[in-house]
Structure 1
Amino acid sequence: MQSDSRASSLRAALEEELRTTGSLRTSPSGLLLGQVVDVTSADVVVELGPRTSGIVPRDEFKAAPDIGKDLEVTVTGREDGLWMLSVEAARKLATAANLEVGSLVKGKVIGFNKGGLELKVEGLDAFLPASQIAMHHVEDLAAYAGETLLCEVLEIDRDRNRIVLSRRAVLEAEARREREHAGAALTEGAICRGKVTRIEPFGAFVDLGGIEGLLHVSNISHQRVEHPEEKLAVGQDVEVQILRIEEGGKRIGLGMKQLETDPWDEAAERLRPDSIVTGTVRRIADYGAFVEVLPGIDGLLHVSQLGVGRVQRVGSVVSVGDEVTVRVISVDPVARRISLSRLDPRGALIGSEEAAAGEEIEEVLRSDSSIGTNLGALFKKALDK
């Protein structure tokens, strides 16, 4: 800060000296103008006024400037009555003067620390905080060494010729433009292809070509999916249907099961009341067990239908993964509900001796013989046992 203050004081003193002699010349950017009057191996001599001269280090020039050429300069010091000048520092001042917050600039990464990246922007020192490097957290800052990055100017410190940048703002603006462009081509109900980019317990994010949508776990398959990783993997290509578009494309809901045949379409035909089916217990709740009776279709086996007597705890009778034989009580395709029972219509446990005996009685009663003959047959079967 002391060197910056000293340079400001020297500039003010030099400008005052030139102003009193009427020889102050400035460029459109407000920098001092001087004319080259001599070039040596070490310095370029610049005349600022009739009796005011200064020198610029020769190594600031790639090639020797022509005698008589005007240069934009700024003062850096004073030695032996001569003003120490610099065209490089003047160039930095001109660059800083033209910069505004929100301007886009290109900078080369020249270093880094744990706080972020150090860049050079047309000779100016610039800092890119770690939180502004990308749209995600960056672990390895060294990976950006030597790269040229397009950034947005966040802050400008003209006294120190230092700026603070954001690359994240540029990336977010690009993503917004891509999202708006891609979103304009998307419509609800459309079927498109995408790539799984991220998986969370609640669903998977799918890139639809510059815009992401959420495939909720409940919309992956008609079969119950506990975690998206059961069906999906990062990088997998998927075909999805757009279920909804909200907030101008910022929120897009996707579905996969909507492209499959709905198993409920044929549930009523395949699962008729009083039909006996075998299923697998998928979930257990306090009030009963959910049994998968067809792929993607679960029915509720209520606690009251688990056995003949009172059942205190569902888990004491069935466990997840058990195969059970059940009777269909009712099917409601509209509400997507199926009621199941382990009891036959007479209240006997399916597969038990009581259930078998009841079936025999019904079989005999359905025969064409007389009632007396039927009763005789029943007594004969009982004696045979």
Structure 2
Amino acid sequence: MPSGRQPAHFDCTANISEAIESGAVLEGIVQKCDNSYNLYIDLGAAMGVLPFRESAIGADLGKVREISVISKVNKPVCFCITGLREGADGRPVADLSRRLVQEACQRDYLDRLAPGDIIDAAITHFEPFGVFVDIGCGIVSLLPIDCISVSRIAHPRDRFTPGQWLRAVVSGRDGLGRITLTHKELLGTWMENAASFSPGDTVPGVVRSVESYGIFIELLPNLAGLAEVREGIHPGDTVSVYIKSILPEKMKIKLIIIDDFPAGSCHQSRPPLHYYWEGDHIDAFYYSPPSCPREIATVFTPPSGC
């Protein structure tokens, strides 16, 4: 995501005039939304007013819902200052636009992204089917739940927290030209994850699924093992498991449940996500081990000539 946002606080109107001249991208906390859905941000030397029509791309065309504007109260938004005038009470008023900085972000940054590019994003809200993230100046994109990690989760809250920053890979664009994202490709291959464990280890895990033939237990976001069926075990439980074997050629880890801690019965800390890929682009991701006949891969950039 483009950086360079400045805190929107000014000691004098001269500094506001400089911000207008430079076109600086600013960020401030919305203090109020009036009954016409205009937003108000205190800039220090002036009160900033962000009209509804300038609240986002498409607002002037009726493509922005009022609830999306109301929900910005008490949250940071980015904008530029387009003018400075005297208000009815004699105080300086700064006219703001979020639409203009979004259009610049779309034109100069998002439209240039290609499949395989890795970007920073901030979580805005959750849905059962995925998580919405801010990929630049309030422009949002969906990260589907099945693209979050190889280990399946019931809800995005199982993996993320509100406001969390994450890295994501551009997977393509939908029929409306909006960027689509994936995330699991940054969390490591089967072999990279399995290298953290050895047969004979006893380690913590999280129950993700209980089936008739066994219990799937997540050891890491991109690695799960299978334990035999045991009564009283439920999805979301934290367990201690003994690692019987690690079988790369079958892409399997066999586990034995040693102890069970039902969800909510103990403090369960969530370790920070570990990203195995540190660059800004990835051409392809091969999850399965070379010795495994079953290939699981994601190809972002087709080979030259294809």
- Please give the TM-score of this superposition, normalised by the length of structure 1: 0.34
Q: Which of structures 1 and 2 has the bigger CA Rg?
A: 1
TM superposition score normalised by structure 2:
0.41
